[in-house]
Amino acid sequence: MTQDFDLNLFLKNLPNLPGVYRMLGADGGVLYVGKAVNLKRRVSSYFQKNDHSPRITLMVKQVHSIETTVTRSEAEALILENNLIKALSPKYNILFRDDKSYPYLMLTGHEFPQMAYYRGTLKKPNRYFGPYPNGYAVRDSIQVLQKVFRLRTCEDSVFEHRDRACLLYQIKRCSAPCVGHISQEDYRADVRQAEAFLNGKTGELTQVLHHKMQQAAERLDFEEAARYRDQIQALGLMQSRQFIDSKNPNNPNDIDLLALAVSDGIVCIHWVSIRGGRHVGDKSFFPDLKNDPEPNGQDYAEAFVAQHYLGKAKPDVIISNFPVPEVVQTALNSENERKIQFVNKTLGERKVWLKMAEQNARLAIGQHSLQQSSQAHRIAELARVLEMDSDGLNRLECFDISHTQGEATVASCVVYDEQNIQPGQYRRYNITTAKAGDDYAAMREVLTRRYGKMAEAQANGETVKWPDAVLIDGGKGQIGVAVEVWEELGLTIPLVGIAKGVERKAGLEELILPFSGRTFRLPPTSPALHLLQVIRDESHRFAITGHRKKRDKARIISSLSDIPGIGSKRRQALLTRFGGLRGVTAASVEDLAQVEGISKALAEKIYASLH
C-alpha cells in the first residue's frame, strides 16, 4: 500500500451500500473493477480471506489503493462495472477480446428503402435486423433478399443520380426504382415482404406468394406468375439451408443460445443466433486466461452475458446451459422494452439446439487447444533459431514500407503477442521526411519515430511494452539502417531481416541476424519460418492497404484540383454531394451545376476534364 493510503481506515469507513470498486496498482493504473451489493463487506473480504483464486491472490498483492462509487442498486452497479471494464480493460478482470459491435441488416428510412450491411449505433428511422454473429451471415441474407425481393443496395448518392438502370436490374437482382421501373407502392410492398421474411414469417409469406402466383396464372400473366414461382423456390432454398428452423409458431422470433464448456484449462462460450426461427450464425468466444490458471466457468459465463448484452440489442429469449444470476437479468431487463426470458432448463427442440451448441463449444475448445499448441511450437522453434530463451520471446513487431514509384509512402508496424496477431495494436506511419522512393530513409524514419518515442516515454518513468524481437521486411540495406537506429537509441532488442532471396519465392527467404553476423535459410517446412512468413505477409498487407488509401485519396484531390476554378471548398462540396470521385464522374453537367458554387460554365469544365 502507498504511504498516504491507510487500508484499515479506508475499509472501516466504507458504506454498507451497493456500488463499484476499482483496485489500483503502484502506477495508478486500474488492476481490477468489481461490483458489490455491499461495498464494505465485499471489499473487506479481499484482505480478510485466504481462499481466493490464484488470479485474485496475485492481484491483491499488487493493490496500492482503492476507489469506490456508490450506486442505487446492484443491477446499476453491474451496468457501471461493465462500462468501466470496457473503457479501462483492467489486467485482472475477465475480458472477452472480441467486443466490437455486431453487424446488422439495415433497411433505411428512404422513400425507396436501401438494403445494406450496417455496423454501429442504431438510428431512427432506419430499421435493423440482427445482430448477426459475423458479416458473412448478413451478406448471405442480402443476397437472398436481392434474388427474392429485388431491393436496391446502392447508396443514396448513386440512387439519386441514375439516368438508366444498372447491371443489377439486368440480372434481376434489383427492381430499379431509381429510374421508375417500379412504383413506390409496389416497391414498399416488396419491402414489407422482406421484413416479414426477416421476422420469421416465411410460411405466411410463402402462402401469400403462392396465392399471387395462382392469380397471375388465371389472368394468363405467366411472366409475373413465373416471378412469384421463383420467389417461392428461393425462399424454400433459404429454409433448407438452415439446420435450425423452428416449426413451433409460438416460439419468439429472436433467440440466443449460450453454451459454456470448460476443458484443459480453456473456457469457451459458444453463441448461437436464431432470428425469425432460423439459425443465422454462431461464434465461439475465448476469454483471456493468462492471469487465471484455475478458471471458474460460471464466473466467465456471467461476465460474458454482461459484456455481450449490456448496452446492446437483446433477443426475446436467452437459453443457456448455466444459470444467469438474477442481478444480471435485472440489469438486462432494465435496458429492454420487453422482458427477456432466461431459460437454462428446457425440453423439445430447444434442448436439441442447446445440445448442438454445447457440442460446438467442446469442438471449438479442441481446435483452440491445437492452435495454441501449434503457436507455442512455432515460438519455441523461432527462439531456438534466434538463440533466445523461448520464455523470453513473446512479442514480435514487424515493419514494411509500401509505395508506388515513391508516391504516397506508408510504413506499417504489425504486432504478434500472446501467441496471436494483434490487429488492435497495428500502426501505420505516413512517411514525411524521406525522399520519394528512398526505402532506407523511410525505414529509418519509422523506426526512429516508434522506438525513439518509446525510449523517451520510459525515460519519463512511463511503463513501456517493448518487443522481444523486431522483424524487418527487407534485405541487408534495410537491416543496416535498423542497426544504425539501434545504435543511436541505445537499443539491444534482437533484429531479424527477412529478405525475399534471389528467386523471390515463399520458402526461400533469407534471414539476416546482424548482431551475430549470420545469414541463412530455414527449411520450407520449418515452423519458425512459417511464423515469420505469417507476420511478414500481414505487415506487407497492412502497408499496401494503407498506401493504396493514401494514394487514391491524393489522386482524387489531384484530379479535381487540376481543374481551373476548383479549390478546396468546391472540391469538398462536389465529393460530399456525389459520394466520391466516381459519383462526380458519373454526374451530368446539369447535376454538377446544382452544387453550391458551381456555375454552368464550371460544370462543363469539370465534365470535360473527367471524360
* Domain assignment of residue 416, yes or no: yes
SS3 of residue 483 by DSSP: helix
Task: Report the pLDDT value the prediction gives residue 357, as an integer from 0 to 100.
Answer: 85
* Domain assignment of residue 23, yes or no: yes
Angstrom distance (rounded) from CA 534 to CA 507: 12
Task: Report the pLDDT value the prediction gives residue 592, as an integer from 0 to 100.
Answer: 83
Instruction: Read off φ and ψ for residue 563, nearest 5 degrees.
Output: -85, 125
Specify the pTM: 0.54
pLDDT interval class at 553 (50, 70, 90): low
CATH number assigned to the domain comprising residue 42: 3.40.1440.10
The H-or-E segment that residue 119 falls in is none
Angstrom distance (rounded) from CA 145 to CA 115: 9
Task: Report the pLDDT value the prediction gives residue 338, as an integer from 0 to 100.
Answer: 85
The H-or-E segment that residue 402 falls in is strand 396-404
Task: Report the pLDDT value the prediction gives residue 3, as an integer from 0 to 100.
Answer: 47
Question: Can you give 274-307 as a three-state secondary structure string?
Answer: EECCEEEEEEEECCCCCCCCCCCHHHHHHHHHHH
pLDDT digits (tens, 9 = 90+) for 183-198: 999 899 889 888 887 7
Residue 235 in this model has a pLDDT that exceeds 70: no
pLDDT interval class at 41 (50, 70, 90): very high
Domain interval for residue 38: 7-88
**515 and 404, same structural domain?**
yes
**579 and 539, same structural domain?**
no
Contact status, residue 491 vs residue 454, Cβ threshold 8 Å? no
**574 and 537, same structural domain?**
no
Alpha helices in 201-273 (DSSP H): 202-218, 222-240
* Domain assignment of residue 16, yes or no: yes
Task: Report the pLDDT value the prediction gives residue 450, as an integer from 0 to 100.
Answer: 93
**395 and 526, same structural domain?**
yes
**b/e sequence 346-385, b meaning 16+ C-beta within 10 Å:** beeebeebbebbbebbeebbeebeeeeeebeebbebbbeb
Residue 503 in this model has a pLDDT that exceeds 60: no
Residue 96 in this model has a pLDDT that exceeds 50: yes
Out of 321, 336, 368, pick the residue that ends a domain.
Answer: 368
Specify the DSSP class assigned to residue 423.
Answer: G
Mean pLDDT of the region 280-288: 80
**399 and 541, same structural domain?**
yes
**405 and 343, same structural domain?**
no
Q: Which residue has the higher pLDDT, 420 or 553?
A: 420
Which of 12-21, 246-255, 478-487 shows the highest mean pLDDT? 478-487
**543 and 415, same structural domain?**
yes
SS3 of residue 447 by DSSP: helix
Task: Report the pLDDT value the prediction gives residue 562, as an integer from 0 to 100.
Answer: 67
* Domain assignment of residue 240, yes or no: no
The H-or-E segment that residue 32 falls in is strand 30-36
Task: Report the pLDDT value the prediction gives residue 495, as an integer from 0 to 100.
Answer: 94
pLDDT digits (tens, 9 = 90+) for 583-600: 777 777 887 888 878 888
Q: What percent of the chain has pLDDT over 70?
A: 88
- Averaged confidence pLDDT in the chain: 82
What does the angle CA 575 – CA 577 – CA 581 come to, to the nearest 5 degrees? 30
C-alpha cell at 172: 434481376
CATH number assigned to the domain comprising residue 266: 3.30.420.340
Out of 523, 547, 571, pick the residue that ends a domain.
Answer: 547
CATH number assigned to the domain comprising residue 570: 1.10.150.20
* Domain assignment of residue 46, yes or no: yes
Task: Domain count for the chain, please give it.
Answer: 4
Out of 336, 368, 400, pick the residue that ends a domain.
Answer: 368
Residue 7 in this model has a pLDDT that exceeds 90: no
**433 and 500, same structural domain?**
yes
Q: What percent of the chain has pLDDT over 90?
A: 22
pLDDT interval class at 142 (50, 70, 90): confident
* Domain assignment of residue 164, yes or no: no
* Domain assignment of residue 213, yes or no: no
